[in-house]
A and B are shown apart, each in its own frame.
Chain A
Amino acid sequence: MIPLHGIASRGDLPLPFELVLAGAAGALVVTFWVALFAWRTPRFRDQAGIELPRLTRVVDSPWFSRPLRIAVGLVWLVAALALSFGQDRIDNPVFGFVYVLVWVGLVPVSLLFGGVYRRTNPLRLLLRFTGATAPPGSRPGGSRLPAAAALLGFLYLELVQPDGATLPVLRGFAAAWVAWVVAGVLVRGQTWIARADPFEAYASAVARVSPWARTRRGVLLLVNPLRNLASWHPPRHLAVLAAVLLGGTLFDALSNTSWWVRATQDLAGWAGWLAATAGLLGAVTLIGALFHLGTRPYRGLGPDQLAPGLIPLVAGYALAHYGTMLYLDGQRTLFRFSDPLGQGWDLFGLAEAAPATGLFAYPTAIAVAQVLTIVTGHVAGVLVTHDIALRSGEQRVAVHVPLLAVMVVFTVGGLTLMFGG
């Protein structure tokens, strides 16, 4: 909470106990009903859906692609100017841009529209001369370990780094991010971006839960999101990437509990930093270790093959936990783009605008939506995981129980943390 003081201007009410109980019970029942009765053969092995050749032509035409890339690129450019020349105050739009619009916003955008982040990635535009803006190949190619490391770096900035919402700190991390991607591309070629850019790797994984896919020939497909995810040939070390993302959300929720705040508030300087760093690394390790344990009974299926099932959990939890922040602070950030350099400008006539807050009159609806989002993510995750797991040819329930139990632990854990407030 303290590192980003001022960005997250409010917290949601803790989830009511009955809702947490109902959500947990629902997750448990669906999980074991699926494992024991409903799902005995893999159904989503192959990509299949409705081919949309006409939409493909529109989306892939330069008339669509170029304006989209340039518009998004301009937003990033303004954010970069605000970062370089703006005022070191919380009303500098770059803070909300990074921590709210990009970090939180990429989840719903990828869920709804698929691989948009890859297409509008500003670093790809910057590195256009290396062929970075070409359409992706059909092979996922390469380990995602570099992206997992970069994501851990971002989570450290967001959740641990003191003064993460001040310009000098953010400048340092932004420079490191650009250098990490650009240097890698110059050495390894443009395939490095998909493997190492934290935001693109995160967005691309979430995009597999969208209803949009491509055939081998590049034609757009409208598909069942579960099939889209389960038919993915996941890249190497996807399990590590997912553990980092899920561990980060776990630590974020944990560090907001009154228990954690009370335990660490008296730790001065270094000790507090050490506790937070250890907490973040511990959360990531715990998630990764539990998942590895759950996948051990399967012969011929490693954690990476089974990791797609974790992505809906990550997306569901991100939406539940940060959805209201995207709603309120997302609006405020957009307004602040009217005066990006803190010069008293009003470029878009929105500098004095008041955000819509009507949603917050319905706390019960918000709580129900949060529980439903987490449970829906869980159910989707379980269906995909189990579908992949059945490809091992294992029919014995005992083999599947450990992994399903781990998934239930993740979901009930997530609900409990949001209940703890």
Chain B
Amino acid sequence: MQQGGNRSRFDRDMMRTLGLLLLPLLLLAGCGSPDAAPVTVDLTVTDPPAATRTVDVPLGATVTLRITTPTDDRVHVHGYEIEADLPAGVATDVTFDASMAGTYEVESHVTDAVWLDLVVR
């Protein structure tokens, strides 16, 4: 059974190594997110809609989407799960705090067209 003893010591060493691999993650998780200046994104929807636009906004900024649509519409900001009615021809503001990093689709819930890929970083 001596072999078994060697084996389990070896196994313990392996586990320790794996644990060490995960350390930098904990250190990095301590970094905070900076405050950023507010951002306004102007979006004028055409008929038929243009190709999806990619817009970068900084993490932590207050984002205002100013959307004008040719017909009555309804916007859906994915991930943040914001929905708002958009009366035809009127610039409507949708404001939220971009507190989550990632990419999010901004789409019409009427035509299912994806207007924006919002990249928060």
**Distance, CA A6 to CA B104, complexed state (A):** 11
A270 beta carbon closer than 8 Å to chain B: no
A363 and B101 in contact, given A9-B81, A13-B119, A43-B7 (Cβ under 8 angstroms)? yes
Q: Which of B12-33 contact A (CB under 8 A)?
A: 14-15, 18, 21-22, 24-25, 28-29, 31-33
**Distance, CA A11 to CA B99, complexed state (A):** 14
Whole-angstrom distance from the CB of B58 to the nearest CB of chain A? 11
B8: which A residues are within 8 A, CB to CB? Answer: 48-50
Whole-angstrom distance from the CB of A24 to the nearest CB of chain B? 16
**Distance, CA A376 to CA B25, complexed state (A):** 13
Asked if B104 contacts A361 (CB within 8 A), the reply is: no
A361 and B33 in contact, given A226-B14, A372-B25 (Cβ under 8 angstroms)? yes
B121 beta carbon closer than 8 Å to chain A: yes
Asked if B24 contacts A368 (CB within 8 A), the reply is: yes
Q: Which of A335-387 contact B (CB under 8 A)?
A: 357, 360-366, 368-369, 372, 375-376
Q: Which of B21-47 contact A (CB under 8 A)?
A: 21-22, 24-25, 28-29, 31-33
Asked if A10 contacts B121 (CB within 8 A), the reply is: no
Whole-angstrom distance from the CB of B69 to the nearest CB of chain A? 20
Asked if A362 contacts B33 (CB within 8 A), the reply is: yes
Q: Which of B93-107 contact A (CB under 8 A)?
A: 99-104
A12 beta carbon closer than 8 Å to chain B: yes
A362: which B residues are within 8 A, CB to CB? Answer: 28-29, 31, 33, 101
**Distance, CA A223 to CA B8, complexed state (A):** 9
What's the tally of chain A residues with a CB closer than 8 Å to chain B? 30
Asked if B101 contacts A360 (CB within 8 A), the reply is: yes
B78 beta carbon closer than 8 Å to chain A: yes
Q: Which of B11, B59, B119, B121 contacts A227 (CB 8 A)?
A: B11
B11: which A residues are within 8 A, CB to CB? Answer: 49, 223-224, 226-227
Whole-angstrom distance from the CB of B26 to the nearest CB of chain A? 9
Asked if A10 contacts B103 (CB within 8 A), the reply is: yes
Write the A218-253 contact mask toward B (1 if CB under 8 angstroms, else 0).
000001101100000000000000000000000000
B102: which A residues are within 8 A, CB to CB? Answer: 10-13, 324, 360, 363
Whole-angstrom distance from the CB of A141 to the nearest CB of chain B? 28
Whole-angstrom distance from the CB of B87 to the nearest CB of chain A? 24
Asked if B99 contacts A10 (CB within 8 A), the reply is: no
Q: Which of A6, A10, A361, A372 contacts B59 (CB 8 A)?
A: A361
B-side interface residues toward A, CB under 8 Å? 4, 7-8, 10-11, 14-15, 18, 21-22, 24-25, 28-29, 31-33, 59-60, 78-79, 81, 99-104, 119, 121
Closest 4 CB pairs between A and B?
Answer: A10-B79, A360-B100, A363-B101, A224-B11
Known: A13-B102, A43-B10. 9 other contacts (CB 8 A): A13-B101, A13-B119, A224-B15, A226-B11, A362-B28, A362-B33, A363-B59, A375-B21, A376-B22
A-side interface residues toward B, CB under 8 Å? 6, 9-13, 43, 48-50, 223-224, 226-227, 324, 328, 357, 360-366, 368-369, 372, 375-376, 421
Q: Give me 6 A-to-B residue pairs in the complex whose CB atoms sit less than 8 angstroms apart, sorted by A's number.
A: A9-B79, A10-B79, A11-B103, A49-B11, A361-B99, A368-B28
